[in-house]
Structure 1
Amino acid sequence: MRTALETTGLGKRYGRTWALRDCTLRLPTGRVAALVGPNGAGKTTLLHLAVGLLRPDAGSVRVLGRTPASDTGLLTQVGFVAQDAPMYPDFTVPDLLRMGQKLNQHWDSELASGRLERLRIPFDRKVGKLSGGQRAQVALALALAKRPELLLLDEPVASLDPLARREFLQALMGAVADDGTTVLLSSHLVADLERVCDYLIVLQESRVQVIGAVDDLLAEHKLLIGPRRSTAPVGVAAVVRDSHTDKQTTLLVRTNGPILDPAWAVRDLSLEELVLAYLAEPSAGVLPGPTPLGMDLRS
């Protein structure tokens, strides 16, 4: 399987502070991947390194098998929408479409204009006068009109209301379904990501903490509720989080087999529950295969 994005020991430093450090990951082509992490985890830095806006201070990054910082030709294959969808505020939509056509050799004018017409984006209004949702849709249309193999989106819906977010994500998924574009979408809104993403990357403290296909991750993680005790049942590979009352223990675990002990009730997790559990426990290890934390569940 081809790789859309691959990093090995990737790092970027500002002065003495590492914005990204020892970041190693592999994103296969054809995925719609969620990039999640707390503020300062390095999400924006990773995306900027992937499009060549920054150069690494350590390690390497490869995009579609090429090196972004030194290979400007790669830009024709990559679409990027930065935070707040920055565009020339005094340009109208037709101005931006004409500029895109002149700057991109694989530009698809019909795709961009047709998408924006269906969304009823006003073509006679300057971009600076559009709503936040409209600007986000224009930025997405411009990125998709490049017909990119890889589309990188940095918090594109963070400032949008729920309806605008839904419309943006619907437009994104329609484009992905049509072209098979690989997408890496950074966002704090995990509930939205759960509806559109099939791959997950969690950054924690400038490093990769969790990575893998969403279906696989959800299948191997369970919530267990049982009597208060200090040991986990057979079938648990690692305990991610635990909580206790006087009579009850609740565990969020990674499994390596079925949980057959009848004393434990087993419940599936949502993607949001999984992500929040790992973000709350930076020591929970790196996936695939989080470092076992031991079965000592003392509170």
Structure 2
Amino acid sequence: MSTAVEVSGVHRTYGSTTALRGVSTTVREGAICGLLGRNGAGKTTLLSMIAGQERPSSGTVRTLGHDPVESVEVLSRTSFVRDSQRWPDDFRIGHVLSVAPAFHAGWDPALARDLVADLRVPTRTPIKKMSRGQASSVAIVLGLASRAPLTIFDEPYLGLDATARQIFYDRLLADYAEHPRTVLLSTHLVDESESLLEQVVVLDEGRVVLDADVDTARASAWTAAGAAGAVDRVVGSRRVLARHALGGLASVTVAGSVDDALRREAREAGVELGSVSLQHFVAALGAGTPTPGVDDRAASVTTEGALS
């Protein structure tokens, strides 16, 4: 299986600020991968490195088999779009549609025109004067119609209403089915985008805290609710990602899987066990703290080993 992106031990610092701390991940060719995490987690920095727009302070990045920085091969086969894209002051959507084919060999003008209509992109307004949602729509048109082998969307939904976001998801899936490519999607809207994703990578404070296929991620945590003392006894020394208490009751999110012995123990203790949505799990990973004495790296969830 070919690899589209390989990141190994990447650190990135800006003066006294560290944006990425030992980040490693691999994205296979043809996958749709979600890059998730809170604001400031390092998502845009990582995507910029993958696209060749920044160098790591240390570590290596390989994109489509090349060092992406100053690589003509990577530049010609990658579309990196975001709503903050800078355009000349007088540029309108028509200008974008006219110059895009020069940068993307697979550009589909018919798809671009359809997306402009579906997303109601104003044709007479300079992009510089568009609302945030309209600028996001321009970025979506550029990314989808590029048909670039590696297409990177950095929070493409900003400012879009629910209808426009659904159009984006639907058109992405439909075009991906007919023209497979590798897609990296940075987003906070996990519940909305979950059905698109095959792999999720979660960053928290510049570190990878989850790297797994979606099915593995869904099965990598559970909840326990009941009397606080009983919950604590059932959970034991397992890693607690999040805890909420009210009076004598507690609800916790725990990393790992549930087996028959745990179900039996919980039932006897009057503790209710439940599954966790991907959105809940990602939020808990961002808010959680490691169990004392457990190394952060060992506590991360990867496809090689789920937490227990």
Name the aligned partner's letter for residue 162 of structure 2. P
Q: How does 1:144-293 map to 2 (within 5 A)?
A: 144-227=144-227, 228-229=229-230, 230-232=232-234, 238-244=239-245, 247-258=248-259, 259-261=262-264, 262=267, 263-283=270-290, 285-288=299-302, 289=305
Deviation at 1:255, TM superposition (A): 3.0
1:142-192 deviation line (CA, Å, top 9, x unaligned) = 223332122111122123333333333333333323322222211233333
Q: Distance in 2 between matches of 1:248 and 1:55?
A: 49
- Coordinate RMSD, CA, aligned: 2.6
Name the aligned partner's letter for residue 173 of structure 1. L
Does the CA-based 8 Å contact 1:76-1:146 persist in structure 2? no
SS in 1 for 2:102: helix
Identity of aligned residues (%): 32
Q: Distance in 2 between matches of 1:157 and 1:246?
A: 39
SS in 1 for 2:48: helix
Deviation at 1:243, TM superposition (A): 4.2
1:71-105 deviation line (CA, Å, top 9, x unaligned) = 22212221111243443341222221111123333
Q: Distance in 1 between matches of 2:258 and 2:276?
A: 16
Deviation at 1:203, TM superposition (A): 0.7
Gap change, CA 1:91 and 1:233, over 3 Å in 2: closer
1:89-142 deviation line (CA, Å, top 9, x unaligned) = 412222211111233333332332233244443434433344433332222222
Q: How does 1:9-158 map to 2 (within 5 A)?
A: 9-158=9-158
| Runs of 5+ consecutive residues of structure 1 not aligned to the other structure | 293-299
1:244-276 deviation line (CA, Å, top 9, x unaligned) = 556444231233442322233221211221111
Scaled by the length of structure 1, the TM-score of the pair is 0.85
Does the CA-based 8 Å contact 1:225-1:264 persist in structure 2? yes
Q: Distance in 2 between matches of 1:257 and 1:270?
A: 15
1:227-250 deviation line (CA, Å, top 9, x unaligned) = 42343369x964323345564442
Does the CA-based 8 Å contact 1:94-1:123 persist in structure 2? yes
Q: Distance in 2 between matches of 1:35 and 1:280?
A: 17
Gap change, CA 1:9 and 1:83, over 3 Å in 2: farther
Q: Distance in 1 between matches of 2:178 and 2:86?
A: 26
Q: Distance in 1 between matches of 2:151 and 2:57?
A: 24
Does the CA-based 8 Å contact 1:223-1:251 persist in structure 2? yes
Q: Distance in 1 between matches of 2:102 and 2:147?
A: 15
Q: Which moved further from structure 2: 174-183 or 58-67?
A: 174-183
Q: Distance in 1 between matches of 2:247 and 2:94?
A: 66
Alignment match, 1:4: 4
Q: Distance in 2 between matches of 1:213 and 1:129?
A: 40
Name the aligned partner's letter for residue 287 of structure 1. V
| Runs of 5+ consecutive residues of structure 2 not aligned to the other structure | 292-298
Q: Distance in 1 between matches of 2:246 and 2:100?
A: 60
SS in 1 for 2:38: coil
SS in 1 for 2:301: coil
Scaled by the length of structure 2, the TM-score of the pair is 0.83
Alignment match, 1:297: none
Q: Distance in 2 between matches of 1:158 and 1:134?
A: 9
Q: Distance in 2 between matches of 1:195 and 1:114?
A: 23
